[in-house]
Amino acid sequence: MQQPPLPLTQDLVLVGGGHTHALVLRKWAMKPLPGARVTLINPGPTAPYSGMLPGFVAGHYSREQLDIDLVRLAQVANARLIMGSVTAIDPASATLHIDNHPPVGFDVASVDVGITSDMPDLQGFAETAIPAKPLGPFAARWDAFRNETGPARVAIIGGGVAGAELAMAMAHALAQRSRAATIHLIDASKALSALPAKSASALRGALHDLGVTLHEEASITHLADNAVHLQDGTLIEADFITGAAGARPYPWLEASGLATKDGFLSVNDRLQTSDPRIFAVGDCAHMSHAPRPKAGVYAVRQAPVLYHNLISSLSGGPLKSYVPQKDYLKLISLGKKAALGDRFGLTFTGPWVWTWKDRIDRRFMEQFDDLPRMPVPPLPYPRAKGVQKAMGPKPLCGGCGAKLGRDALSRSLATLNPMQRTDITPLPGDDAALLHTGGMRQVFTTDHLRSFWPDPAVMARIATHHALGDIWAMGASPQAATLSITLPRLSEELAERTLTEVLGAAQTILQDAGADIVGGHSTMGDELTIGLAITGLSDRDPITLSGAKDGAALILTKPVGTGVIMAALMSGKVRGEDVAAALEAMQQGQKTAAQVLGSKAQAMTDLTGFGLAGHCQNLCTASGLAATLALEAIPLLPGALALSERGEHSSLYPANRAGFPDIPDTPQTRLLFDPQTGGGLLAAVPARQAQDLIDTLRRNGHPGSAIIGHLHRGPIGQISIA
């Protein structure tokens, strides 16, 4: 008899996607601790590797090469990724507070959030400059600036190694683009003072050769009007100003009540803070047992010890000590493909040093390209006939990609007896019914989703918006909701934490929509599933599928592509940034869109599992019309077309495609049959009013809205492509 999966009993939360945590997750993917749930919290889907930042700034690496894809990494480690920023840690309640997410509880936590080079005390810095750390926002701003045209004026505040590397990289990048550039490197004391004299002298020579102007012992009074104002009256004009001076901890670390040193979390030789359940590594930590400068080499070498100590803390084993090396090899980029090396007082330069540094950096990043994956167990033999065919060529998708195909669903519904009540009006194709109660019109609908993303709060948001889609599409106002929640096997404490996250996320959305949670049901099962039954009130006849007129324009309020993106996620073949964009789209509510379209829509539906073509056909069939879709006008999520071109698709795609033999098969047309989860509204509106409605939608938070085609007389239900 096969052993059931172990219940999850301990919560490990990793705060920040720094180098140490990235390596820990990779180790976890190869050897996880059974019974432990892992959560990674990071502001975005990627984490830039600091070692390659100067090379990126210089133009030697692309932005994609700079980033560790945390979505893929979390997936292979079977960890949930929360894309948000921690704002506070409360050791007393073992809770982390996040800017865009319900609080998350932990049994063991580790902090690896790096540092910031923000300068809050320097007047005008926040309004005028961009700190070099955190790296993500800086890299995005620089990428845009270096691709502009015309003269370039740059100022870097901070004359340490980091500032010098940036100055030389920027000078090289702008010269490669034939932009006349002035680069200023400003330091309040003597520049490069942390290096031995020989290495500092070599760097000064490299700065001079690249035309960088060095300002030493220069006090800055303020930043204003695209300029750095010095105390001696000098005005340094700059269109791009960055700060690379010093290392500042994030303020919430000191506010945690944990022991700190100059705001950095103090840790012992086992990398524990003053609370033994909380670890800290990388630049945000101060090693009180062996103080060292902030350097990535220490973060990388902390990873094996942190991994062991986290496992031991969760399972009750002994901890190891981390002993940092006394010195480390410094490889400093010189702008072009050359570098300077420094160790034990020795200085060496040349292209070969760059080749050495490049090989080290690429080898580090290759670890996150070649991620370990658990092999798929072979099918048992013997097995019942038809098992392999029923399983299909790929794993079953979650969300709407797991729906039953239209044909099978229609045949099953056709076996039901005719309705016996006269106070119910079924709304075929709308997944809902109109209830007549004491003169009131009440819309009733239900929907549920299997989990396809491991964050329960995100799944609750998506499921809630998804279920509200039918209410909004019919022009009703949400009233009440009951929830049906299946949790995976968890300890009672973890089940309570998870259920609290789900209820909090769902309630926020429902109350914003004007509805309340009035009850529900919970159970344990194999995986997280969230369902909602919702009622809505309508002061007029609901908008249905059947009211569209000849000549009406078709408006879509969201881009499509969630099905193919989430299917590719399951196979590890999608960029994390594209997954993040799809998740954001699925969590966008349609309340405002419904209000804008409500008074003008002749017919309206929400886009879900049957895809754009299927739902458009339902609307056409109910209204007795045909449709022509303008393929190029249909908005697509980032990455969706590229995935379709590679042959990726959802497990529901073949069933959706089967009903449209006349539509040609191209990567773009395949997305017409892509099942959507939490999709947009599809509305038929008077053609003369369509553009005004699009303008209003875009002004009110729906930038992806578009006119995608029109309805006309023709074979009923026929969908044509223009």
Q: What confidence category does residue 396 fall into, taking pLDDT thresholds of 50, 70 and 90? A: low
Return the HEC string of 438-500: CCEEEEEEEEEEECCCCCHHHHHHHHHHHHHHHHHHCCCEEEEEEEEEEEECECHHHHHHHHH
Cα–Cα dist 468/510, whole Å? 9
168 part of a folded domain: yes
Residue 534 in tokens: 């919702």
Task: Name the residue with higher pLDDT: 418 or 585.
Answer: 585
Cα–Cα dist 353/134, whole Å? 27
Q: Are 370 and 536 in contact (CB under 8 A)?
A: no
> What would the pLDDT profile of 679-701 be if each residue is shown by its tens digit?
999 999 999 999 999 999 999 99
Residue 246 in tokens: 């010093």
Phi and psi angles of residue 325, each rounded to the nearest 5 degrees, phi first: -70, 155
Element at 86 (helix H, strand E): strand 86-90
The domain boundary residue, chosen from 524, 542, 560: 542
Cβ-Cβ contacts under 8 Å for 291 (sequence gap 6 or more): none
671 part of a folded domain: yes
> What would the pLDDT profile of 622-636 be if each residue is shown by its tens digit?
999 999 999 999 999
Task: Name the residue with higher pLDDT: 157 or 415.
Answer: 157
Total domains in the fold of the chain: 4
| Portion of the chain with pLDDT greater than 90, in percent | 78
Same domain assignment for residues 558 and 604: yes
The domain boundary residue, chosen from 243, 265, 297: 243
Q: What confidence category does residue 419 fall into, taking pLDDT thresholds of 50, 70 and 90? A: confident
Among positive and negative, which fits the CA dihedral 24, 25, 26, 31? positive
Mean pLDDT over all residues of the chain?
92
Element at 524 (helix H, strand E): strand 516-525
Return the HEC string of 5-34: CCCECEEEEEECCCHHHHHHHHHHHHCCCC
367 part of a folded domain: no
Cβ-Cβ contacts under 8 Å for 4 (sequence gap 6 or more): 489
Contacts 24+ apart (CB under 8 A), 489-495: 489/4, 489/5, 489/6, 489/7, 489/8, 489/524, 490/7, 490/8, 490/9, 490/37, 490/524, 491/7, 491/8, 491/9, 493/9, 493/105, 494/8, 494/9, 494/10, 494/11, 494/37, 495/524
Q: Residue 225 CB: number of other CB atoms within 10 A?
A: 9
Kindly state the average pLDDT of the residues 394-423.
Answer: 68
- Residue 393 in this model has a pLDDT that exceeds 90: no
**Residue corresponding to tokens 């007389």:** 713
Q: What confidence category does residue 2 fall into, taking pLDDT thresholds of 50, 70 and 90? A: low
Q: What confidence category does residue 395 fall into, taking pLDDT thresholds of 50, 70 and 90? A: low
Residue type present at position 150: G
635 part of a folded domain: yes
> What would the pLDDT profile of 644-667 be if each residue is shown by its tens digit?
999 999 989 999 999 899 999 999
The domain boundary residue, chosen from 328, 348, 370: 328
Same domain assignment for residues 654 and 562: yes
**Residue corresponding to tokens 């006849």:** 541
Range of lowest pLDDT (385-389, 462-466, 503-507): 385-389
Q: Are 681 and 604 in contact (CB under 8 A)?
A: yes
Same domain assignment for residues 597 and 699: yes
Cα–Cα dist 40/74, whole Å? 7
Same domain assignment for residues 472 and 568: no
- Residue 489 in this model has a pLDDT that exceeds 80: yes
- Residue 399 in this model has a pLDDT that exceeds 90: no
State the catalytic residues: 400
Element at 42 (helix H, strand E): strand 36-42
464 part of a folded domain: yes
Same domain assignment for residues 498 and 456: yes
Cα–Cα dist 540/217, whole Å? 74
Range of lowest pLDDT (17-26, 153-162, 403-412, 618-627): 403-412
Listing DSSP states for 174-188 in one string gives: HHHTT--EEEEEE-S
Q: What confidence category does residue 264 fall into, taking pLDDT thresholds of 50, 70 and 90? A: very high
Cβ-Cβ contacts under 8 Å for 351 (sequence gap 6 or more): 337, 338
> What would the pLDDT profile of 157-197 be if each residue is shown by its tens digit?
998 999 999 999 999 999 999 899 999 999 999 989 888 99
Burial class (CB in 10 A: 0-12, 13-18, 19+), 712: middle
170 part of a folded domain: yes
Kindly state the average pLDDT of the residues 369-386.
Answer: 77
538 part of a folded domain: yes
Of 237, 268, 267, nearest to 253 (Cα)? 267
110: left (phi over 0), alpha (psi -120 to 50) or beta: beta
Q: How far is CA 197 from the centre of its chain?
A: 45
> What would the pLDDT profile of 637-646 be if each residue is shown by its tens digit?
999 999 999 9
Quote the domain boundaries for residue 610.
543-722
385 part of a folded domain: no
Same domain assignment for residues 696 and 550: yes
Q: Are 681 and 556 in contact (CB under 8 A)?
A: yes
Same domain assignment for residues 529 and 571: no
Same domain assignment for residues 61 and 135: no
Same domain assignment for residues 202 and 55: no
Kindly state the average pLDDT of the residues 483-511.
Answer: 96
Q: Are 563 and 652 in contact (CB under 8 A)?
A: yes
Same domain assignment for residues 568 and 702: yes
CATH number assigned to the domain comprising residue 177: 3.50.50.60
Give residue 1's pLDDT: 46
CATH number assigned to the domain comprising residue 444: 3.30.1330.10
CATH number assigned to the domain comprising residue 627: 3.90.650.10
> What would the pLDDT profile of 539-587 be if each residue is shown by its tens digit?
888 899 999 999 999 999 999 999 999 999 988 889 999 999 999 999 9
Residue type present at position 657: R
Same domain assignment for residues 226 and 314: no
Cα–Cα dist 639/389, whole Å? 30
| Residue 172 half-sphere exposure toward CB, CA atoms < 13 A | 21
Same domain assignment for residues 701 and 573: yes
Phi and psi angles of residue 313, each rounded to the nearest 5 degrees, phi first: -65, -35
Cα–Cα dist 248/118, whole Å? 7
| DSSP state, residue 272 | B
Cis, peptide link before residue 134, omega less than 30° from 0: yes
